[in-house]
Amino acid sequence: MKMDYVDPANSLNMPEMADMTFAMDFLVRVKDGVRNTAFALTETASPEARALLRAQLHQGIALHQEISELMIRKKWFHPYELQEQFQLDMLSAEQTVQIAQLKLFPDDTRRKGMFDRTPDEHMGGHQA
């Protein structure tokens, strides 16, 4: 029996899983931003630029904390319970493999027969 992936019954928990994935991606990107800003701060000599980077660094750290707390509250992130985080990471990896194995496109991708007219009909039958 072929599974209908468009059927809502087969996408149970998908919105929450997508939210968890987006949040984790956001957390990683904010962490990268904090690291890059801290590095830039150590390489900058201008007092004005240092003040700007210092303010951005503090904003990035606050945003990282806010996202982390949200994810912990939603049980999407377990920074203090490594076994639970490992189980969550394994589930995510398994689901990624399942999504990668979905047959999303037909085997035959030829375009012949997909159009209602031959390509040169729109030019009144003239061929170049």
- Is there a domain that residue 36 lies in? yes
Residue 60 lies in a domain: yes
Are the CB atoms for 29 and 60 separated by under 8 Å? no
Nearest-angstrom CA–CA distance, 121 and 57: 61
Count of structural domains within the chain? 1
Whether residue 127 has pLDDT greater than 90: no
pLDDT for the residue 126: 54
Query: Does 78 fall in a domain?
Result: yes
The yes-or-no verdict on residue 6 having pLDDT over 90 is no
Q: Domain for residue 80, yes or no?
A: yes
Average pLDDT over residues 53-81: 94
**For all residues of the chain together, what is the average pLDDT?**
82
Neighbouring C-beta atoms of residue 56, cutoff 10 Å = 17
Q: 78 lies in which domain range?
A: 8-101
Residue 77 lies in a domain: yes
The tokens describing 54, both together, are 């210092």
Residue 110 lies in a domain: no
Identify the pLDDT of residue 41: 96
Q: Is the pLDDT of residue 4 over 70?
A: no
Is there a domain that residue 88 lies in? yes
